[in-house]
Every structure is written in structure tokens, then in C-alpha cells.
Structure 1
Amino acid sequence: MDTHLVEAGAGREWAGPTAVRAIAVPDEATSLFVQARPGLLKIANRIVGDTGEAEDVIQEAWLRWQRADRTVVRNPSALLRKTTVRLAINLVQSAWKRRESCASPWLPESTDTDATPEAVAERHDAADGAVLLLMATLTPKQRAAYVLREGFGYPYGRISELLGIGVANTRQQVSRAQERLAAHRPRQPVDAVAHRRLVQAFLAAAEYGDLAHLEAVLTGHGHVGNS
């Protein structure tokens, strides 16, 4: 069944990627979704790495929002972000989703000191999804090498010192991590406590430069799980 979403104040309605003239005034639920949609799309795009697939995620999130019992929802924005993250991860992890190039999870960007609370929440949710994917897909050494190299630009020599392996092995760990992520083959369930610990270290490094704590968590000194 076709679903139309009216863009507030724009005199247009959204139906997947296509916009047409509005034919109805949006209700409160629609208005809430329209307001949240730009942020949700950013989250989805950061996780799946493809604009078209991100649009599909948002369409599914909209359908679920329509079916939800909104009378018991205390924080609509948080629910929509959580739904989007889970749908995006499910899409990436689907066995039939194979891409020829590596679609890497979102890695830290420079911190925006003027970011709104909503933008901060979006960034945290995207990081949450990316870390979950990394933990489900990569071995601890692959994960550490990949995050430090691709996310924070560490030289291979420094990563090899932290992991206690040779430089050639370190390069191989990064390469294998990229291959696993490209194949979208999650290898294990993720411990919730370990996931939360790594997300916190990940964000602290990205936002405040606390690289020492991230190094400790990634190399096992911070007790992150999934070994």
C-alpha cells in the first residue's frame, strides 16, 4: 500500500523519494515524523552507506511509526532514532545484501561545539549502530586495527605496538576487517555491557580526544568483550 508523508509547511508530501503536491493537512504523528526525518536519514545513511537504501530504511521506519501505539510513547524522537538504527543495521546484516565495495560503518567526525542536543543524539545513535556492527562482525584485533586506522588515522607502527603484533600483520588485520564489513557477515552476538563500554570510549575519543581510554578498551585493558 502506498504511503504519503506530508512535509510540514512546504505544501508537498513525501512518498519514498518522490515528492508530489499535498492533498491533506498533516496530523500530529506525521508532523513529528517530518520534523525528525532529516536526522533519521543522516543516521541511516551513515550506517548503510547508500542514499537509496537509507531512503528505504526511512520508509520502513515511517510504516512502523504509523502502526505503533503512540499513546504509550514518551519520547517520539528517541523511538524513531532507535527504530532507524535497528532497521539500518538489519539491512546491512542481511545475508543477501552483498556490495562489491566496502561500505564502512560511520566513524568519528570532527566535533561540532555548537551542535544542538538533537544533533548530538543523532551522532550518538549513529555511533551506537556502527559500533554494534563492528563488534558483531570483526575479531577484537580486526576491530581495534580498523577503528584506530580508519577512524583516527593511527600509523600502522603505533597500532602494531598497541596490539603486540608486527606491522605486516597489522595491515592484514585492517584489510581483513574491510573484507568482513564488505561481505556483511556478522560472526557473533554482542554483549550489551561490552557494547555500551566501547560506544562510550568511541564517543569520548571522537568528541573530547580521549584516545588513551579508547586504546585501552580496544586492546582489552578496558575489558571490552567479544573476544
Structure 2
Amino acid sequence: MDAATDAFVSHRNLLFTIAYEMLGSAADAEDVLQETWLRWAGVEHGTVENHRAYLVRIVTRQALGRLRTLGRRKESYVGSWLPEPLLTAPDVAEDVELADSVSMAMMLVLETLTPTERAVFVLREVFDVDYDEIATALDKNPAAVRQIAHRARSHVAARRPREVVTQAASREALAAFQRATETGDLQALLDLLAPDVVFLGDGGGVKQAVPRPVVGSSKVARMLLGGLLKVTGWTMEPAQVNGCPALIVRFGGELDTVVAVRMENGLISGLYAVRNPAKLSHMTEETTLRR
């Protein structure tokens, strides 16, 4: 069991990252890791040639089952559903591909895939798992997995941002966004937003949030400034969330909202505000993600 424990611990961050990218929920990813450990502990480890591959197979199957359950939960979710934000360590941003794959914008794109497509895309495109191993994990033949991968890549390519935005550009845009909202400068805010910008708010029925997407720079800017001007005691501060620059909003010093953005052509095309308290538990300490 010592060897089994060592193998699990050495791959734990990888397994968590796979589960999180498949589920968009850190809490569910942690549950999947617990289930993975229970199954791993019951394996005859002497017969396992590749511990990493075997653990990836277990976590994939557990996450896929949880993903289907999560889909049913989302159907009754109050308002917009956004992925659970993670306060991430600085080294996540250094891995550009990993940071892009866990960004709020990309996680929302992954939400549009079927559970099987999402599993195949994450394993192949993010973690470079070979088709034969994916086929074993999903109980499918490699040819079918290749077809699913092609379909998922095409789907994602049509919806993901078409340019890679640097961390510096994102930080600059968020700093300007922070100044505009703190000073109530409507024109400065409009200058930062794409004409068709989309604002999504996730309060989970617990905190007040817009019940449906708000679209258009004028509507979004006026909603933001109108809402913030009605309250006092709020502050904004920069943070590294899901491997990308973001903002944390506090009311009375207490964490209230995490704001992430999608950038395209130098403008903010998506604003994602997570207020649901149940989704903010991983914002108190850094989460380590690995490929």
C-alpha cells in the first residue's frame, strides 16, 4: 500500500486537473479523486505496468460518470452556470497551453461538448494521451475515438477565441476595467468592451445575479456602473484565476465575486462573474494544476 499511496500522491495534481477540466467543478473533482483512490487501493498493483496511465483511466471513468450527473444538476440550476474558479499558482500561467485550457472562456467552450467529446478532447488535446489509451478508458475502439476527437476539435475551434492573448495584455485590460468601474467612467468602460460583449453572472440562486446573459457594450457598461454605484464598501484587486489574470471583488473586506474575462481583438468580449458562495471555496489558497 505504501507504493500505491506514493504513486497516487505523485500523480494527484495531474488527476485533479483532468477531473476539473472535465467537470468545471473543483468540489466534484475532489470527490472524483476520492473515488479514484478507493478503486486504486483495491487494484493488484504488481500487475500494473504504468501507474500513471492506469490512474488516468480510473479518474476518466469516474469523472465521466460524474459529468453526466452534473449535467442533470445544471438543468435545474438557477440562472447562468459558470465553472468554479480556482486561485492558481503562478507557474500555471507559465504553461501557456495549460493556462488556456483551464481559462474560464475555454471551460465554457468545453461545456458545449457532449460528455464523451469533452473527455476525449481533454485527454488528447490537453494531456496528449494516445488514442489507444483513451479508447481503453472509454471502452471504445481507437477509430471511434479518433472520430470523436476530430468532431470535438472542430466544435471547439469554431467557438474558442481565435488569438492567444498574452498575460500582460489581459492584466492591462483588467487594470483599465478596474479604473473605469472604480471611477464610474462610462466612456472609458465602453472603450474596453467589444460591441457584442456578453456578461454572465452566477449567483446560484443564493446571491443576486443577472438571471440571463446581458449582451452589448452599452447594456453591460450601464448595468455594471449602475449596480456598483448603488452600494458602498466594495473593493477590487487583481488575482490569478484559472491560470489567467482576473479580479476579486470584496464587500466589507469579504470575498464576494470573482470576475474573469475573455479577450478578442484587444477588447473584452466576455465578462464572467461568479458570486455563488459554494463555488468560491477554492479562492482562499492556491491550487496546483499539472499536465
The TM-score range, normalised by the shorter chain, is 0.3 to 0.5
Relative to its length, the structure with more strand (as a share) is 2
Relative to its length, the structure with more helix (as a share) is 1
Higher relative contact order (CA 8 A, sep 6+): 2
